[in-house]
Chain A
Amino acid sequence: MRPAPIAEIACTVAGEAVRLLSARALYWPARRTLAVADLHWGKAETFQAFGIPVPSGDLALDLARLDAAVRATGAERLLLLGDLIHGAWGLTAQVVDQAAEWLTRCPAEAILVEGNHDQHVAALPDAWALPVLPSLRDGPFRFCHAPAPDPQGAYVWAGHVHPVAVIRGRRRRGRVRLPIFHVGAQVGVLPAFGAFTGGAELDEPGARRYGVADGQLIAL
């Protein structure tokens, strides 16, 4: 399976030009920074450890998608906004090695902003050599995991909630469920990057929403 071509929507947030990518990532050209959230590496393997035979495979797909996004944007910094791993049980040797292999050849500098799932382990694998921060402040932005307004007034980019939109049609056209970017006045929430992740409907007043549909981005 090959990653789909990437579509994008340009917008201005907190005075900065950013690009929302159909690869479920945010790109900030001024700092050559790519941000993704909620990757949930090792989720299938966590299930396996509990005796639930979910096939592995999504990690390879997700790494290929991540690789394509980094290369397509030419990002120099990759921010992983939390819930990089799914649980302690899922960090099998194979998952650790597969991720480490990609991290070593990743052209951008990867930094983890810690999320709640990441705290299931005392420390991430050494082989990943990932710097871990509680949050990252840069320019007008603060990058973190949980979507809460910043007390210091920075614009927050976060993940955690796996936002989706449910679009209901009138006149019996049915409904469509899409992962979204949910861009509010103080907080922007990224869609979950991991393929094996669900979502929760999010639609706060005043927020702009952009849905990811079949490799396209649609302003809702």
Chain B
Amino acid sequence: MAEQTPIIEFKSVSLAYGDTEILKGIDLSLEQGKFYTLLGPSGSGKTTILNLISGQLAATSGDILFENKRINDVPVEKRTVNTVFQDYALFPNMNVFENVAFGPSIKKMSKTDIERQVHDMLKLVKLDQYADRDISELSGGQRQRVAIARALANDPKVLLLDEPLSALDYKLRKDMQYELREIQQRLGITFVFVTHDQEEALAMSDWIFVMNDGVIQQNGTPEDIYDEPINHFVADFIGESNIVDGIMKTDYVVHFVGKDFENVDAGMRPNERVEVVLRPEDLDLTTIENGKLIVTIDDQSFRGDYYEITAIDDDGNEWQVQATNSAQVGERVGLTFDPEDIHIMRFNESEDDFDARLESYEDDDEE
């Protein structure tokens, strides 16, 4: 990643209500023009971060910087960020035009400028035919678009989106994901998107922050986070995972379910206890002779493009498999996977240590 002055920076920001800590020393840095996602279960603190950026909440400690200036004490209405609210929060006493014109008219723009701005924004969200409609006449998806247009009409440097797609149906959500991404790229401003939907986060983001318990668990590109989750929580939250306990015997050899397997991880202590992650889509059904694991099929369901199979090995571990070919329930089959499909997670490894370790042995490989 090229170094560039961050537009927003958090320096050990904490927030607590009495003894309840909502955020615990958050450090983060957001660059201009990127699509960021804060991903986590409810109560993880992701919306709190959004409210700290917008100014709806004040940090208990730590510094929040906007273009290198501390903004902890700047009131909401003076910040150059705008928010798309989860419930849209459209003003019911105004029509579509008036809603979008709210921000510009507060800024005392001239009437013609306001009209042009509103028209541009409505066009951007493909609602230019709806300017005179009342909010109560719009569908959920249309309201969503008005909310986006209204927030963008203030020309924010950062747009905050608080689970904006959660109320839409599946198909509409997919369309909006694509459209939001397109709007972000066209305008080139920073988007900070909050969601609990990992699929949404993976599809839209340049960079994801995975949150849990008021702490950033891991941050990185969608690929990094999916392929190399740092701990049990991230592996479990992002996509489906098979997680079993194992022992890292030496570099590139891991022992689990009673066998040694060749893998591609290194840089740990000999015989260190670790967790082993195998993604369901990396497991393939094969014959018992070719199988690295022998399992009994326990359950199978058809998912359109694959079969979701639950299998149990002789030690009683459950394995989720996404297979293209079907199997019989009760049948004994082999499971196979490649060394690079095995991902190793150390207990309590920090993000910095994790990145350093990855770099150290990836450099070795190239030599």
On whether the two chains bind one another, the answer is: no
